């Protein structure tokens, strides 16, 4: 695979992506159920949703760690190939940062070994030390030599996450997928790590997909936000619009219960996200939708549609497309 020089081609794209898992009882759980998503070069996109919404599965599929049942992943305009050699090459270009740095680091490897491992896997032996030193200082561990021989248990949580980030940077990737990168860190350290991610985008032009349930994180660093519910993106748009004027009742509810948003009346949804083996008919959110319960959908005359008519998958997903929500009520209000 070669990178296309065309600047308009998204760094990452998924088209009608579907990922399925078979449960032990033989049911099919569709964890990702039709997702069109494009992340542009140098863009930070936050993929938000609750546990079980499929956000981590989507991220894993984007990295080629999981094969889709249908649809495909495109990297720099080219379809991701699952041949072992192509995947290995892809994994130099796209790196993953996980939630828990303590689990991601081998406790018996020094910081130097942890960071150099990626280089060794890819047979890049030349200038190894210089590359490791560079990655460590970019990740904010300075002077790097002081950290070479340290073991993970000698580091604080924030420093460990910086080592993980250095391990990702050492291969000079274009794309970083970060799954809850700060949720296991102390509150006062969290801001520093987020500032580091922002700086990496600004200095290296990295493309970042951040998977999180934390809307505050999105407000802190993301250019755009995609909200996922039960395997689908139900609302996407620029961060300012999604978080300041959410359209979809699910996004509205999600935002209203964030403790930092005191100005909103909390809409606490009952129950939890349904099981992906039994996706509700009609709008997949209708079983928990506050707009159906309080009669807003009924007044707009769409309640029947909510229960029976499935919503189309959000088609165009590009920054130019602006703010889109998959909701019968939003649609009805727009036509009025």
- Give the binding site for another protein (CB under 8 A): 50-51, 156-159, 186-195, 198, 213-216, 219-221, 239-240, 243-244, 253-255, 257-263, 266, 268-270, 272
Four-CA torsion 335, 35, 100, 221, nearest 10 degrees: -40
User: What is the nearest approach in angstroms of another protein to the Cβ of residue 161?
Assistant: 11
CA distance 34 to 137: 40
Any idea what DSSP says for residue 140?
Answer: T
User: What is the nearest approach in angstroms of another protein to the Cβ of residue 22?
Assistant: 19
Which of 80/228 has CB closer to another protein? 228
Which of 37/254 has CB closer to another protein? 254
User: Which residues lie closer than 8 Å to 300 by C-beta, 6 or more apart?
Assistant: 329, 332, 333
Which of 3/261 has CB closer to another protein? 261
CA distance 222 to 42: 11
62, 247, 300 from 333: Cα distances, Å:
34, 10, 8
Angle at 199 between CA 102 and CA 321, to 5 degrees: 105
User: What is the nearest approach in angstroms of another protein to the Cβ of residue 83?
Assistant: 37
Which of 244/316 has CB closer to another protein? 244
Indicate left, alpha or beta for 189 from its phi (over 0: left) and psi (-120 to 50: alpha).
Answer: alpha
User: What is the nearest approach in angstroms of another protein to the Cβ of residue 286?
Assistant: 17
User: What is the nearest approach in angstroms of another protein to the Cβ of residue 270?
Assistant: 8
- For 234-266, b/e burial (b = at least 16 CB within 10 A) is bbbbebebbbeebbbbbbbbbbbeeeeeeeeee
Is residue 157 within 8 Å of 186, Cβ to Cβ? yes
User: What is the nearest approach in angstroms of another protein to the Cβ of residue 255?
Assistant: 7
3-state secondary structure of 47: strand
Which of 32/243 has CB closer to another protein? 243
User: Which residues lie closer than 8 Å to 219 by C-beta, 6 or more apart?
Assistant: 239, 243
User: What is the nearest approach in angstroms of another protein to the Cβ of residue 321?
Assistant: 21
């Amino acid at each position: 695979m070669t990178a296309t020089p065309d600047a308009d081609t998204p760094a990452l794209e998924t088209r009608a992506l579907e990922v399925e898992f078979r449960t032990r009882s033989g049911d099919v759980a569709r964890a990702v159920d039709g997702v069109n998503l494009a992340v542009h070069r140098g863009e930070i996109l936050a993929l938000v949703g609750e546990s079980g919404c499929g956000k981590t599965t989507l991220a894993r599929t984007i990295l080629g760690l999981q094969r889709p049942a249908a649809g495909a992943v495109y990297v720099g305009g080219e379809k991701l190939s699952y041949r072992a050699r192509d995947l290995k090459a892809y994994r130099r270009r796209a790196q993953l940062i996980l939630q828990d740095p303590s689990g991601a680091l081998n406790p018996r490897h020094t910081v130097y070994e942890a960071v150099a491992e990626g280089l060794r896997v890819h047979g890049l032996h030349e200038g190894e030390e210089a590359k490791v030193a560079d990655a460590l200082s970019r990740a904010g561990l300075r002077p790097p030599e002081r950290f070479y021989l340290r073991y993970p248990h000698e580091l604080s949580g924030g420093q460990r996450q910086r080592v993980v980030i250095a391990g990702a940077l050492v291969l000079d990737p274009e794309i970083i997928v970060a799954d809850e990168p700060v949720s296991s860190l102390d509150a006062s350290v969290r801001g520093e790590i987020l500032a580091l991610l922002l700086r990496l985008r600004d200095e290296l032009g990295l493309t970042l997909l951040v998977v999180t349930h934390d809307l505050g994180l999105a407000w802190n660093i993301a250019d755009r936000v995609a909200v996922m519910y039960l395997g689908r993106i139900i609302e996407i748009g620029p961060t300012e619009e999604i978080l300041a004027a959410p359209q979809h009742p699910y996004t509205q509810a999600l935002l209203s219960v964030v403790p930092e948003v005191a100005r909103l009346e909390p809409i606490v949804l009952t129950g939890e996200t349904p099981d992906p083996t039994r996706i509700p008919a009609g709008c997949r959110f209708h079983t928990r939708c506050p707009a159906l319960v309080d009669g807003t959908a009924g007044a707009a005359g769409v309640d029947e549609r909510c229960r029976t008519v499935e919503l189309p998958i959000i088609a165009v997903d590009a920054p130019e497309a602006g703010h889109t929500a998959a909701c019968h009520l939003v649609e009805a209000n727009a036509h009025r």
